Amino acid sequence: MLILFKNANTYTPRFAGKKDILVGGRSILAIKDNIEPPKDIDIKVVDCEGLNLVPGLIDSHVHITGGGGEGGPASRMPELQISMMTEAGVTTVVGCLGTDGITRSVESVLMKVKSIRALGMSAWMYTGAYQVPGPTITGDLMRDITLIEEIIGVGEVAISDHRSSVPTIAELSKLTGHARVAGMIGGKAGIVNIHMGDARDPFRPLHEIVAKSELGYRQFIPTHCNRNDYIFEDAKEYGKKGYVDITTSSYPYYMDEEIKPSKALKQLLENGVPLSHITFTSDACGSLPGFDPETGKLIKMEMGLPDSILREIKEAVTEDGIPLEQALQVATSNPADILKLPGKGYIKEGFDADILLLDASFTIIHLMANGVMMKG
């Protein structure tokens, strides 16, 4: 069946005006000012008057098989459910391991990616984990990236954190170089997703790698760049050269420590960080631990959810005065471009029909993934 969205305020994510969008199969077939539904063809018409039609959101840092474990076996987080995605307006996720690269495997992440795809959504993943060297499927990260379609890079690799394996600059450089070449061979991003910890001068290892090699800043996507005030201050400068990822789900759990994501976006833009360098991710199903700074003891544990991205996009618009077309880019076109996700991140003819329809209060009215209605 063809599906026609009529009279939608369309964001591609840039504002395109009121448009009609025709969907067939899993793709967007046409975008026009007016499309009259043919009488002799089976077609469903969806009236979108007063609604904003935007690309389905991309959450590119999700512990899809569950994260956590820092507080022992009882602190393991559950895996991602499809309902978490539909309730959040998310149609694409990128899965990863985190602290626990021992009892959770890259193989299990791969099978969860396949499960998400089989249920109609889109998913990719990173190989590896916090540790360097990290776990792989084939025994070699280059082979993982090159040969396994779903794997687009390495991560989440921890630096500047007491939970990291304290990799040397030489080890990080080698890992990054291998990821880059594997990405080139496999037609992938070959990017390294970096977990940024609470240490002072947290970007120093990345600056040293760039200074001492032919690798560039855009070979990394450091995340949790809003976790405290001093990393965020550094991110304002780092983001002018490379990418910065803002974690949405840890706010409001850590209001006294975190920079609120919507306000972080505004400040980054005001400080000259290119919008195309900024992404929002939820860190969903990962643990959000709190440690005593003196003893290192775990004192609290929360879990992130994907719906935090849409919440912070909404508040970037309604509270911080950022235009909707700019706020949308951090979870649509930016991650699609940075991670080279084919057919994703845009409302464009020939692209996958990942479509989110929102009312004026940012309530999800309809959600389509790969041409199939998942909500509404």
Catalytic center residues: 283
Cβ proximity of 321 and 266 under 8 Å? yes
Strand partners, 330: none
The three-state (H, E, C) secondary structure of the chain, written as one string: CEEEEEEEEEECCCEEEEEEEEEECCEEEEEECCCCCCCCCCEEEEECCCCEEEECEEEEEECCCCCECCCCHHHECCCCCHHHHHCCCEEEEEECCCCCCCCCCHHHHHHHHHHHHHCCCEEEEEECCCCCCCCCCCCCHHHHHHHCCCEEEEEEEEECCCCCCCCCHHHHHHHHHHHHHHHHHHCCCCEEEEEECCCCCCCHHHHHHHHHCCCCHHHEEEECCCCCHHHHHHHHHHCCCCCEEEECCCCCCCCCCCCCHHHHHHHHHHCCCCHHHEEEECCECCEEEEECCCCCCEEEEEECCCCHHHHHHHHHHHCCCCCHHHHHHCCCHHHHHHCCCCCCCCCCCCCECCEEEECCCCCEEEEEECCEEEEC
**Cβ within 8 Å of residue 255, ≥6 positions away:** none
Residue type at 192? V
Angle between helices 169-186 and 204-212 (to 10 degrees): 70
Q: Is 184 within 8 Å of 152 (Cβ atoms)?
A: no
